[in-house]
Structure formats: structure tokens, C-alpha cells
Amino acid sequence: MKKLRNGQTMVEYIIIVCLIAISLIAVFTYLGRAIGRKGAGAAAAISNEEGDKAKAAVDEINEDTIKEIGED
């Protein structure tokens, strides 16, 4: 009878471990998507910021060039 109880206890532990693993997979999947969206948003913001800086630099160069041409 004791051997049967040991087998039952082992099955209970396996079920608990499986439930924990499934829960962790679900949590990491959810967090992975959320982190991915945050990362994509940050990358887009940085890209837009860099694009704005580059556009401002080009505009400044163009203004300086127009002033130099006007002076000639």
C-alpha cells in the first residue's frame, strides 16, 4: 500500500510542476508581447527623433547655402 501512495504523490508533484510551467509560459508570452510593443514604440520614437534632427540639419545647411549664394 505504501508503494501505491508514493506513486500517487509523484503524479501529484508532476501535475503541479506542469501547471506551474503552463502558467509561466502564459505569463512570459504575455510579457514578451508587451515588451515587444514597448520596444517597437521606443525604436519608432528614436527613429522619428533622429529623422527630425537630420531634417533640421539639412534645412540649416540649405539656409546657410542660400545665404552664401545670396552674398556672392
**Neighbouring C-beta atoms of residue 34, cutoff 10 Å:** 10
- Cα torsion for 59, 63, 65, 69, to the nearest 10°? 150
Domain boundaries, position 6: 1-72
Number of domains in the chain: 1
At 72 the three-state DSSP class reads coil
Structure confidence at residue 71 (pLDDT): 59
The SS3 of residue 1 is coil
* 26-56 pLDDT per residue, tens: 988 888 877 877 777 777 777 776 666 666 6
DSSP assigned state of 62: H
To the question of pTM greater than 0.85 for the whole model, the response is: no
pLDDT value of residue 20: 95
Q: In the predicted model, is pLDDT for residue 1 greater than 90?
A: no
* The pLDDT of residue 57: 67
